Amino acid sequence: MSEEEKVEPSPKVKTKTATEAVVTPKDVKRVWEEIYSEIKRVIIGKLDVLEDMFIALLAGGHCLLEGVPGIAKTVMAKTFSQTLGCEFKRVQFTPDLLPSDVVGTTIYDPKAGTFKMRKGPIFTNILLADEINRSPPKTQAALLEAMAEKQVTVEGTTFRLEDPFLVIATQNPIEQEGTYPLPEAQVDRFMFKLLVDLPSPEEEMEIIKLKHKQIRQTVRRVTTPMTINKMKETVETKIFVHEDIMVYIKDIVVATRTDPRLILGGSPRCSIALLSAAKAVASMRGRDYVIPDDVKRVSRVATAHRLQMKPEAELEGTTGTIVVNEILRNQEVPV
């Protein structure tokens, strides 16, 4: 990072470190509001996608971004990591990319007479797997262990990854030549699948004006990895979930398994994702308890991509999002 790209920590958050007492949901809300304020100075639109990315980070999940080229997916990921004060690395997935190019490999040190681990770019806080579907399945699978267990195994030796750890993968929905569709097991490892749309005409005009003026927008670091880990701990242990909310989550996922338009519904991993994400949403709203609206907020992005449609349903234009919306309308909401 060059001198002019360096960002300074927020004075408001300098005093908040992981060594202090428990971080409360109100602290999480305040930090998110500062992050949101910083990001919107650089990113025009798409702030709901960035909020989803922060939810996934707090919930210990990962994000798959789908959108056409040129809509700032890489800029979003980089800006997001800068405000968090996290280390960021980007890997361009290509047909000739090897698993060792991602996770690393062991090399022989002639001076010491031993093999040493040369760590790959996966050893970071936020990894951008750019155009992940351009690499063959063997390379895509190199991320499976890392995403599920926060570790990688090289030559029989297991290495723990950084904490926090978030994978943000991107793919192009329209270009199919030379791509390898992600297998269901890989897609299921992503907590959220986020669709990044083209900007509105008004947003497009703002982008053009910003580019014309050649204004170099920078963001300041709002928090630190240590504080993020404290916030994650708060989400995991300090957010109350009533049993009625758990039943509500269960009913949503079970309904996907019995829908006649689907070959495959949500698995228990989907239920866990809904629970963890809803707790993260509650903390970002400053609450220490989950309400039904928190579950609804994440149901579409956490569930739709896990559903496999029957061919006849696809021909009729039915999508996973449509199915989830109908299920949410038909489920009894706890009070």
Q: How far apart are CA 115 and CA 109, in angstroms?
A: 6
Q: How far apart are CA 107 and CA 126, in angstroms?
A: 25
Contacts 24+ apart (CB under 8 A), 108-116: 115/155
At residue 29, what are phi and psi to the nearest 5 degrees?
A: -60, -45
Output DSSP code: residue 142: G
Q: Is 109 helix (H, G, I), strand (E, B) or coil?
A: strand
Among 75, 238, 53, CA closest to 164: 53
Q: How far apart are CA 155 and CA 162, in angstroms?
A: 20
Domains of the chain: 3-226 (3.40.50.300), 239-330 (1.10.8.80)
For residue 57, which amino acid is it?
L
Give the model's pLDDT for residue 215: 62
Output DSSP code: residue 111: T
Angle, helices 47-59/292-303, rounded to nearest 10 degrees: 100
Give the model's pLDDT for residue 3: 38
**pTM (2 d.p.):** 0.88
Q: What is the pLDDT of residues 190-225, one digit of tens each?
A: 999 999 988 889 988 988 887 777 666 678 899 999
Q: What is the mean pLDDT of residues 274-282?
A: 97
The Cβ of residue 64 has, within 10 Å, a number of other Cβ atoms equal to 24
Q: Is 289 helix (H, G, I), strand (E, B) or coil?
A: strand
Q: What is the pLDDT of residues 302-329, one digit of tens each?
A: 999 999 999 999 999 999 999 999 999 9
CA distances from 129 to 105, 142, 186 (A): 18, 11, 13
Q: What is the pLDDT of residues 32-60, one digit of tens each?
A: 999 999 998 888 888 899 999 999 999 99
Q: Which residues contact 112 (CB under 8 A, 6 or more apart)?
A: none
Q: How far apart are CA 98 and CA 47, in angstroms?
A: 34
Q: What is the pLDDT of residues 68-108, one digit of tens each?
A: 888 888 889 999 999 999 999 999 999 999 999 999 988 88
CA distances from 82 to 65, 88, 125 (A): 19, 8, 11
For residue 285, which amino acid is it?
R
Q: Are 54 and 35 in contact (CB under 8 A)?
A: yes
Q: What is the pLDDT of residues 228-244, one digit of tens each?
A: 999 999 999 999 999 99
Q: Are 222 and 83 in contact (CB under 8 A)?
A: yes
Q: How far apart are CA 31 and CA 8, in angstroms?
A: 15
Q: How far apart are CA 186 and CA 135, in angstroms?
A: 13
- Comparing 279 with 117, the larger pLDDT belongs to 279
Residues 150, 127, 51, 229: is their CA dihedral positive or negative? positive
**DSSP notation for 7-63:** -PBPHHHHT--TTSSPPPHHHHHHHHHHHHHHHTTT--S-HHHHHHHHHHHHHT--E
| The pair of three-digit structure tokens given for residue 128, joined into one six-digit string | 């951008």
| The pair of three-digit structure tokens given for residue 312, joined into one six-digit string | 């006849």
Q: How far apart are CA 192 and CA 277, in angstroms?
A: 9
Q: How far apart are CA 255 and CA 183, in angstroms?
A: 23
